[in-house]
């Protein structure tokens, strides 16, 4: 892992991912953020990067000449009752079209490096959380995007990982009375999973309960069958 770009790094899991990338020896970390930030480690370069702003994405792609790992972490999660279509569209803009736009913009660098795309998703992609339905819908769509990217980019040597997170101690779930993983432990599990080549990464105690039967389960079986149709 030489050069990493991480989006949504101003707080939570994104902030922890920057520190973990440094701890695991990254030579350069590009940290996308919507607010001005600085870092004491000279290996970190902050980028003005709103994942819904195509001009900023294109500017970032010109700045980053080489890239080994793209981590699509930036996300939106708002509690709602699914009555507000505009809010659903906002979630899709950030959680679906953002990762799509970043992967498209940085694809030449990733192909050159035979690198990896890491999409930070949620167990809500598999079973909707009714208290945050727009978030759940957008993450389900992003999971489908991840599966499509994995099949389509494999011939180019680009690996695509799906991170299926459970409750993490961030602003999104801090008020929920459920056990939560620390952002630091989630970040560590993400980069460990990428290093191990895990297509799906289960970075916390709740999501880890899915791991034992995942490879032989219906979702993974169908994914493999569908990908085989490309050949």
User: Do 193 and 203 meet the contact criterion of CB atoms below 8 Å apart?
Assistant: yes
Q: Which residues, including other chains, have CB under 8 Å from residue 147's CB and lie 6 or more apart? A: 162, 223, 226, 227
Q: Cα–Cα distance between 180 and 204 in angstroms, integer?
A: 8
Give the three-state DSSP class for 149. helix
Q: Of residues 40, 135, 180, 220, which has the active-site annotation?
A: 135
Q: Of residues 30, 40, 62, 139, which has the active-site annotation?
A: 139
Q: Which residues, including other chains, have CB under 8 Å from residue 196's CB and lie 6 or more apart? A: none
Residue 30 known to be catalytic: no
Residue 180 known to be catalytic: no
Q: Up-side HSE of residue 166: CA atoms within 13 Å toward CB? A: 17
**Catalytic residue numbers, as ranges:** 135, 139
């Amino acid at each position: 892992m030489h050069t990493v770009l991480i989006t949504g790094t101003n707080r939570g899991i994104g902030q922890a991912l920057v520190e973990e990338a440094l701890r695991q020896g990254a030579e350069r970390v590009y940290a996308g953020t919507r607010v001005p930030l600085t870092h004491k480690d000279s290996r970190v370069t902050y980028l003005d990067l709103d994942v819904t702003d195509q001009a900023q994405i294109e500017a970032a792609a010109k700045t980053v000449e080489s890239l080994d790992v793209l981590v699509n972490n930036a996300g939106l999660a708002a509690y709602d009752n699914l009555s507000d279509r505009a809010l659903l569209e906002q979630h899709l803009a950030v959680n679906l079209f953002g990762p799509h736009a970043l992967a498209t913009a940085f694809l030449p660098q990733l192909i050159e490096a035979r690198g990896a795309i890491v999409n930070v998703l949620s167990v809500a992609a598999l079973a909707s959380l009714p208290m945050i339905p727009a978030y759940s819908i957008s993450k389900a769509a992003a999971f489908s995007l991840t599966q499509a990217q994995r099949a389509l980019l494999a011939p180019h040597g680009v690996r695509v990982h799906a991170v299926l997170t459970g409750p993490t101690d961030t602003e999104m779930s801090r008020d929920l009375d459920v056990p939560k993983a620390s952002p630091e432990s989630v970040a560590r599990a993400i980069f460990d999973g990428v290093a191990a080549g895990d297509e799906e990464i289960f970075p916390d105690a709740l999501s880890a309960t899915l791991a034992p039967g995942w490879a032989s389960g219906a979702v993974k079986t169908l994914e493999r069958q569908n990908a085989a149709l490309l050949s």
